[in-house]
A and B are shown apart, each in its own frame.
Chain A
Amino acid sequence: MDTMRERFISVTSRLLDEDRRLAVVLAEISMDGFRPAQERHPDRVINVGIREQLLVGVGGGLALTGLRPVLHTFASFLVERPFEQVKLDFGHQGTGGVLVSASASYDWPAGGFTHMAPGDVALLDTLDGWTVHVPGHPDEAEALLRHAYAAGDDRVYVRLSQQSNAAPRPLGDLRFQTVREGRAGVVLAVGPLLDNVLAATEGLDVTVLYAATVRPFDDAALRAAAGRASADVVLVEPYLAGTSAAAAGQALVDLPHRVLPLGVGRAELRRYGTIDEHTAAHGLDAGSLRGRITGFLR
């Protein structure tokens, strides 16, 4: 199986052949993968060099001329470093584009904190109107990328990761899906953390919802699940803990409820090692999740 990032390169390269509105902007990252597409479409595969402010500004300029820009680099350099460009060069202009990141929260633990971006979704949450896709499998990544490219002038963020569930889920209408039903509480699993959540809740009487699209937040699905079960809600997100706590609170505003937000810790871990070691350190492995979920639900 290829990675989400490899799938991004292959599906986008194909779609550049079919959709003349698409244009890819890179800042060196993934350039080798896009070289064949660049040879076919030199004007629509643009590498600006190691210039991330320009990466976003150029995407904004392409959108002003009517193209559908696809901007790609590691999340730290795509969302965090040029954040004001993301805010002003799309939202304030009233235009849209597709940001596609790689590296996620800690895909390269041995590389250290400079290449980790657990806060990216929380940061985008300060802006209006961004759709956020967090695929849990390369097949889901392909489906969501195709959806993002075809989404008119919408502003869309697609967060790709090395981490993946064993099998894809059909995404259909981008709503939260009910994977399992129970009465003791609701656990919302986001993207690549679904397998860990399913293992953690094995044998527990809880509803498990799955989200590969977190913004817009599917208020109706969470309300319905919390209405059927106890309104004790656990959020399990592969980025900064608490990122969706406000959205969940808004969805459940007229329902007495409790929320336990789980995710990547705010404190810098200052460890290298492997993805699995970091997942465990943040308490997001199946065993840790089971303890935290059962402790919350009592």
Chain B
Amino acid sequence: MTQVSADTGLRYEDLDRLIALMTGAEKHGPAATSTLDVLWVLYDRVLRVGPGNARDAGRDRFLLSKGHGPMAYYAVLAAKGFFPVDWLPGFGAYDSPLGHHPDRTLIPGVEISSGSLGHGLPLGVGSALGLRAQGLDGAAVWVLIGDAELDEGSNHEAIAHAGSAGLEALHTVVIDNDSATHGWPGGIASRFEAAGWSAVTVDGRDHAALHAAFTAPHPGRPHAVVARVEKKF
């Protein structure tokens, strides 16, 4: 399956303007956009999903577990045509489908309703297992989490099981902006590797490096990409 996108004519260079429609500000903090480059590279070049096949059983799934600060996510989804750009200025309003945490029942293309940390990766493990049980072996599952989200024990349950089960369809992107209070001695990637995952750490602003990391082969193992971005402010 290939990506079926509606060409909105919007590009990476337009994302700041789209985000500004939500914040009303021309400048924005790194927290809101720590995910921006990762999301763009995934939706532009990696995920086999677009508005035209967003309900197909065999589509790739992207699960935004780190539901906080979803403006970059909404900007990318709008740029890719999942919903109209004119939804963006309503961000957070009572009659807008776009909340400060996303709701899958309100927004086309959003796979999970998220906000509470530590739910996306277990849901991703279940999604990968469900696709495998139905013979949908071509579909990949991607889960985006934050480095502080790794504090949640539910993620460690998911990491341990996915590694031992050899869930090749499962991918995790960890946005690492040094948010975790107690840090991760030895590095985040080592946690995944110890559980049997393939893992790589890259510059989270470097599109070529991200693309290479996202598309690296990892036969028989789930794959983690740790994307380093600026420290939290």
Which A positions have Cβ atoms within 8 angstroms of B?
23, 25, 43-44, 46, 48-49, 51, 53-54, 56-67, 69, 84-85, 88-89, 92-94
Say yes or no for B128: interface residue by CB 8 A criterion.
Answer: yes
Q: Are A58 and B125 in contact (CB under 8 A)?
A: yes
A62/B126 contact (C-beta < 8 A), A44-B133, A54-B154, A57-B154 known: yes
A53/B134 contact (C-beta < 8 A), A61-B124, A93-B104, A94-B104 known: no
Min C-beta distance of A42 to chain B, whole Å = 9
Q: Are A51 and B123 in contact (CB under 8 A)?
A: no
Report whether over half of chain B's contact residues are helix, strand or loop; otherwise say mixed. Answer: helix
Residues of A within 8 Å of B104, CB to CB, are 93-94
Residues of B within 8 Å of A65, CB to CB, are 57, 126-127, 130-131, 134, 136
A59/B126 contact (C-beta < 8 A), A44-B133, A53-B157, A94-B104 known: yes
Q: Are B129 and A58 in contact (CB under 8 A)?
A: yes
Q: Are B128 and A61 in contact (CB under 8 A)?
A: yes
Min C-beta distance of A21 to chain B, whole Å = 9
A23 to B131, CA, bound (A): 12
User: Can you list 30 A-B pairs, Cβ within 8 angstroms, ordered by A?
Assistant: A25-B126, A51-B157, A53-B122, A54-B125, A54-B158, A56-B122, A57-B121, A57-B125, A57-B126, A58-B122, A60-B122, A60-B126, A61-B123, A61-B126, A62-B126, A62-B130, A62-B133, A63-B130, A64-B112, A64-B123, A65-B57, A66-B57, A66-B130, A67-B134, A85-B154, A89-B119, A89-B123, A92-B113, A93-B112, A94-B113
List the 5 closest A-B pairs by CB distance, nearest first: A61-B126, A57-B122, A65-B130, A58-B126, A54-B157
Q: Are A43 and B129 in contact (CB under 8 A)?
A: yes
A276 to B9, CA, bound (A): 72
Residues of A within 8 Å of B113, CB to CB, are 88, 92-94
Min C-beta distance of B64 to chain A, whole Å = 13
Q: Are A23 and B130 in contact (CB under 8 A)?
A: yes
Residues of A within 8 Å of B131, CB to CB, are 65
Q: Are A57 and B123 in contact (CB under 8 A)?
A: yes
Q: Are A53 and B154 in contact (CB under 8 A)?
A: yes
Count how many chain B residues have C-beta atoms less than 8 Å from C-beta atoms of the other chain.
Answer: 32
A63 to B131, CA, bound (A): 10
Residues of B within 8 Å of A25, CB to CB, are 126
Min C-beta distance of B60 to chain A, whole Å = 12
Residues of A within 8 Å of B57, CB to CB, are 65-66
A58 to B143, CA, bound (A): 14
A85 to B123, CA, bound (A): 10
A51 to B130, CA, bound (A): 18
Residues of A within 8 Å of B130, CB to CB, are 23, 61-67
Q: Are A53 and B133 in contact (CB under 8 A)?
A: no
From 46 to 105 in chain B, residues with beta carbon under 8 angstroms from any chain A beta carbon are 57, 61, 103-105
Min C-beta distance of A68 to chain B, whole Å = 10
A89/B134 contact (C-beta < 8 A), A51-B157, A54-B154 known: no
- B118, B123, B136, B161 — which one has the most chain A CB atoms within 10 A of its CB? B123
Known: A59-B126, A61-B127, A63-B130. 13 other contacts (CB 8 A): A48-B157, A49-B157, A49-B160, A49-B161, A51-B160, A53-B154, A54-B154, A57-B158, A58-B125, A60-B126, A85-B122, A89-B122, A93-B112
A142 to B24, CA, bound (A): 58
Residues of A within 8 Å of B153, CB to CB, are 53
Residues of B within 8 Å of A67, CB to CB, are 130, 133-134
Say yes or no for B132: interface residue by CB 8 A criterion.
Answer: yes
A43 to B158, CA, bound (A): 17
Q: Of B119, B125, B132, which is within 8 A of A88 by CB?
A: B119
A108 to B158, CA, bound (A): 30
Say yes or no for B116: interface residue by CB 8 A criterion.
Answer: yes
Min C-beta distance of A17 to chain B, whole Å = 14
Say yes or no for B111: interface residue by CB 8 A criterion.
Answer: yes
Residues of B within 8 Å of A88, CB to CB, are 113, 116, 119
From 145 to 163 in chain B, residues with beta carbon under 8 angstroms from any chain A beta carbon are 153-154, 157-158, 160-161
Residues of B within 8 Å of A53, CB to CB, are 118, 122, 153-154, 157
A56 to B158, CA, bound (A): 11
A64/B116 contact (C-beta < 8 A), A57-B154, A58-B125 known: no
Residues of A within 8 Å of B154, CB to CB, are 53-54, 57, 85
- Return the CB mask of B208-222 against A: 1 if under 8 Å, else 0: 000000000000000
A23 to B136, CA, bound (A): 15
A64/B111 contact (C-beta < 8 A), A23-B130, A43-B129, A57-B154 known: yes
Min C-beta distance of A29 to chain B, whole Å = 16
Q: Are A62 and B122 in contact (CB under 8 A)?
A: no
Closest to B152 in A: A53
A89 to B63, CA, bound (A): 13
A93 to B153, CA, bound (A): 21
